[in-house]
Chains A and B, each alone.
Chain A
């Protein structure tokens, strides 16, 4: 087995342990309502942070950030109005493609 394959397998094992340990060992704990509420908030906050990271990561030219702000706003607006995540996502991607083409 090559060194690269061993590293990839170790990456997979470490990631898997992070996923499985809480499921196995926190399973029998009785968590109070405050703790459950905290986990709920942490989860929402993690998702929101991921939106920020993804939102800023791909916008290489400076002008693209303005397009992305508009597209993100449209994404959220359509999703809130229609209660349909797929439609919101499609609207946002279409907007960013059109704006990038128009602005280029």
Chain B
């Protein structure tokens, strides 16, 4: 790793500090829940390592101890994690110079959080070290994710009472702060506002699909509005 790459990796690792805090807190609660559901330590750690996606893991720990739930677990995992395909598509233009082996290895580290931090940085500044920056964000985040799982599983019962509300607020606070700190363009801010407000409506109409359908609908409407605006405004 040369000096530029080390600098990009360090920049990513520093940007990952909020992700690490959020991941650690989320996976501590996951470890506690998995322990309470009766899963073995090896199963819990394996799930965090190979799935690396909290929203899919929480429902699975409820269903795994029951028999005959394999298909339901797998289908719900695929539906919940379908967003990763959209995120990977969005990263493609920024990772064009990366070799196939790098993409195969790095793909496992794409999550909502590692994607959000990297993608927002690529919008601000995109260069040949994008992948190194992504690894700088993702590798410490992955380590924190696994560490939180272990801590939650073995030591979760010792966490002082009264902190549950703060722990459950870490993830949305972190993503909202990320958007607040990074977004400057008015149209993108409008997309974020509309998507936030429309989510409960779409989720109520199509339960379980609110996230993806809402995002696709809002983005498509925004593109249409933008095209209409540009064609109606001769100066642009």
A residues near B, CB below 8 A?
A: 3-5, 7-16, 18-24, 26-27, 29, 31, 34, 36-59, 64, 68, 71-72, 75-80, 82-89, 92-93, 96-97, 100-101
How far, in angstroms, from A11 to B50 measured CA to CA in the complex?
Answer: 8
- A23-B91, A96-B165 given as contacts; is B177 within 8 A of A45 (CB)? no
- Complex contact A14–B74 (CB within 8 A): yes
Interface footprint category on B: 35 or more
Partner of A18, one of B81, B170, B176: B81
- Complex contact B179–A44 (CB within 8 A): yes
- Complex contact B18–A86 (CB within 8 A): yes
By Cβ-Cβ distance, the 7 closest A-B pairs, closest first, are A58-B168, A12-B50, A88-B177, A79-B180, A54-B172, A41-B219, A45-B195
Partner of A86, one of B17, B88, B226: B17
How far, in angstroms, from A12 to B47 measured CA to CA in the complex?
Answer: 7
* B173 at the binding interface (Cβ < 8 Å): yes
- A24-B104, A41-B218 given as contacts; is B176 within 8 A of A49 (CB)? no
Chain B residues with CB under 8 Å of A36's CB are: 93
How far, in angstroms, from A93 to B166 measured CA to CA in the complex?
Answer: 6
How far, in angstroms, from A62 to B60 measured CA to CA in the complex?
Answer: 27
Partner of B92, one of A23, A64, A96: A23
Q: A14-B77, A42-B219, A52-B172 are in contact. List 19 more A-B contacts (CB 8 A).
A: A8-B43, A20-B103, A20-B104, A38-B219, A39-B86, A39-B90, A43-B90, A44-B195, A45-B195, A45-B218, A46-B212, A51-B172, A51-B176, A53-B211, A72-B176, A75-B177, A76-B177, A85-B174, A96-B173
How far, in angstroms, from A12 to B177 measured CA to CA in the complex?
Answer: 29
How far, in angstroms, from A96 to B46 measured CA to CA in the complex?
Answer: 33
- Complex contact A49–B211 (CB within 8 A): yes
- Which of B50, B81, B96, B173 gathers most chain A CB within 10 Å? B173
The 0/1 profile, CB within 8 Å of A marked 1, for residues 197-236 of chain B is 0011000000000111011101110110011000000000
How far, in angstroms, from A45 to B189 measured CA to CA in the complex?
Answer: 10
- Which of B89, B119, B222 gathers most chain A CB within 10 Å? B89
- Complex contact A4–B86 (CB within 8 A): no
How far, in angstroms, from A9 to B64 measured CA to CA in the complex?
Answer: 13
- Complex contact B50–A92 (CB within 8 A): no
How far, in angstroms, from A34 to B170 measured CA to CA in the complex?
Answer: 34
- A18-B85, A20-B104 given as contacts; is B183 within 8 A of A44 (CB)? yes
Chain A residues with CB under 8 Å of B192's CB are: 44-45, 47-48
- Complex contact A42–B86 (CB within 8 A): yes
* B2 at the binding interface (Cβ < 8 Å): no
- A52-B196, A78-B177 given as contacts; is B52 within 8 A of A89 (CB)? no
- Complex contact A44–B50 (CB within 8 A): no
Chain A residues with CB under 8 Å of B32's CB are: none
Partner of B90, one of A42, A56, A72: A42
